[in-house]
Amino acid sequence: MKLIVGLGNPGPEYAFTPHNAGFLAIDRIAVICDVQIANRRGRALTARTKLAGHEVLLAKPETFMNLSGLSVAALLNELELGVEDLIVLYDELAIPLGTIRIRERGSAAGHNGVKSISGVLGTEEWTRIRIGIGKPPTETGGIVKSGGKDFLLTPMRKQALGELDESLDQAVRAVEAVLTKGVSAAMNEFNRKIEPGSENGI
């Protein structure tokens, strides 16, 4: 079995914010698999299903982003799985909207959910699929200037949601590729060139 976790914040006010891209990706997988993410276990809402021929547990932690690691660790322990059985999907400011990147390991780069998971598990060696949400918009007219936190927790506009929708489809295919072909092959298939120096996310 594999544990597939999407990161986000519980509550309707956060549902369509950039920071909940991981939750939205898990919801997309659930629709494809025709399951409801409604079972409470390991401080998360979960659903057990099959994806690409593999038994998986889909999970959306209810701990809020900054404590995601507590839920991930509880689920791994309950399922008797190791970090090699974990795939985490989450938002990434450093990647353009409409794009995803797969990594086998890496630092948190300022992402509090990732920081929590690596801190609790004691390792950065776990597979992650980063869903690009782009950088906060700024307007030079002096009216709007969104900071990082405000941007992450503000509901996305219709056009941005449309672009994110494409990313979610990519993310689902990426999870399937990781399950069937392995991380390295999936990285070769899905990772696209992005701007130099943009690997340092927030």
Question: Residue 43 belongs to a domain with what CATH number?
Answer: 3.40.50.1470
Long-range pairs of 31-39 with CB within 8 A, sequence gap ≥ 24: 32/172, 33/58
Asked if the structure places residue 197 within a domain, the reply is no
Least confident of 10-14, 48-52, 137-141, 161-165: 137-141
Question: Looking at the predicted structure, is the pLDDT value of residue 56 above 80?
Answer: yes
Asked if the structure places residue 130 within a domain, the reply is yes
Asked if the structure places residue 159 within a domain, the reply is yes
Question: Looking at the predicted structure, is the pLDDT value of residue 145 above 60?
Answer: no
Question: Nearest-CA neighbor of 191 among 65, 101, 120?
Answer: 101
Asked if the structure places residue 161 within a domain, the reply is yes
Question: Nearest-CA neighbor of 169 among 95, 114, 113, 100?
Answer: 100
Asked if the structure places residue 42 within a domain, the reply is yes
Q: Residue 54 catalytic?
A: no
Average pLDDT over the chain, rounded to an integer: 91
Asked if the structure places residue 103 within a domain, the reply is yes
* pLDDT classification of 20: cutoffs 50, 70, 90: very high
In this structure, are residues 177 and 185 in contact, taking their beta carbons and an 8 Å threshold? Answer: yes
Rounded (to 5) percent helix, strand, coil in the chain: 40, 20, 35
Mean pLDDT, residues 124-132: 97
* pLDDT classification of 136: cutoffs 50, 70, 90: confident
Question: Looking at the predicted structure, is the pLDDT value of residue 43 above 50?
Answer: yes
Q: What pLDDT shows up at residue 141?
A: 44
Question: Nearest-CA neighbor of 130 among 114, 147, 150, 151?
Answer: 114
Distance CA 99, CA 83 (A): 25
User: Which H or E run includes 106?
Assistant: none
Asked if the structure places residue 202 within a domain, the reply is no
Mean pLDDT, residues 32-45: 97
Catalytic residue among 2, 19, 111, 115: 19
Mean pLDDT, residues 183-202: 69
Could you tell me the residue range of the domain that residue 74 belongs to?
A: 2-190
Counts of helices then strands in the chain (DSSP H, E): 6, 7
Q: What pLDDT shows up at residue 198?
A: 43
The sheet carrying 44-51 orders its strands as 39-41, 44-51, 54-61, 2-6, 86-92, 127-132, 100-103
Least confident of 4-13, 93-102, 159-168, 185-194: 185-194
Range list of H helices, 34-136: 68-79, 112-121
* pLDDT classification of 199: cutoffs 50, 70, 90: very low
Range list of H helices, the chain: 21-33, 68-79, 112-121, 148-152, 158-181, 183-190
- Count the domains in the chain: 1
**Span 66-123, pLDDT tens digits:** 999 999 999 999 999 999 999 999 999 999 999 999 999 999 988 999 999 999 999 9
Tell me how far CA of residue 189 lies from CA of 22, 63, 159, 186, in angstroms: 20, 33, 27, 5
Flag whether the pTM goes above 0.75: yes
Asked if the structure places residue 106 within a domain, the reply is yes
